[in-house]
Amino acid sequence: MINNNKNGCIKKHSSIRYSREMFQNKQIAVEICKRLSEHIPNPKSELQHSSAYTFLIAVVMSAQTTDVQVNKVTKDLFKQYPTIDDIIKLGQEGLQEKIKSIGFYKNKSKHIIELSKILKEKYGGKVPNNRKDLESLPGVGRKTANVILNALFDQPTIAVDTHVLRLSKRLGFSESSDPIKVEADLEKIIPDKYKNHISNLLVLHGRYTCKAQKPQCNNCILKDICYMIKGERKKEDTNI
């Protein structure tokens, strides 16, 4: 028997014993990954881009900014300035004016111009395919490097953003709020065959179903195995 609470979230399920320990079991992780993969068969970043370089720029812009907002800015930016030479020529002040609607636009403009010059001078305008070189670029941290390595070079890196953090807790994959620790926990529990896509699967599921506020539990394909359906939601967990 499945009962719904007043928030529309599942309250209990007689056939499953809910515990954090159960969700450290790889069999449960396999089932979650399997269902997400079937539900989202082609999980990809929603950042619009026309090349490896513009994807890198879009990812840098997306820090603490929604993909929707970044896409609004880059739609015209990449149309008018599609190449690395175009962006460098535009310059920091010119770029600031173009992207001023996104958060931290001044720092992002500075970083983008700096990293563009480095890419041009040191890498022939190409995006590096290894973590060390990527993380040496201004504005590129571990999460951004993971996104680039995964999306452009098909490496099984796991990028941890706010959606991945939230779902990792809700699904019992990790107890931590530290992205580095969550990444390590996911590396341990996610089967190898799903590591290439797990970040995008969690991001997309978190963006459209398992939302921060008012998660769509009744429409969730994971509702019978989600840790958060154990009894009433704890008050402190409602914004996880």
93 token code pair? 């002040």
Q: Is 161 known to be catalytic?
A: yes
Q: Which residues contact 55 (CB under 8 A, 6 or more apart)?
A: 45, 47, 49, 127, 148, 151, 152
Q: Which of 98, 143, 223, 230 is catalytic?
A: 143
The helix or strand, by DSSP H or E, that contains position 4, with its residue range, turns out to be strand 2-4
Q: Is 26 known to be catalytic?
A: no
167 CB burial (10 A radius; 0-12, 13-18, 19+): buried
Describe the chain by its helix, strand, coil percentages, rounded to 5: 55, 5, 40
196, 199, 200, 202 alpha-carbon torsion, rounded to 10°: 130
E-strand ranges in 8-166 read 10-13
Q: Which of 161, 169, 185, 223 is catalytic?
A: 161
The helix or strand, by DSSP H or E, that contains position 188, with its residue range, turns out to be helix 179-189
Write out the catalytic residue numbers: 143, 161
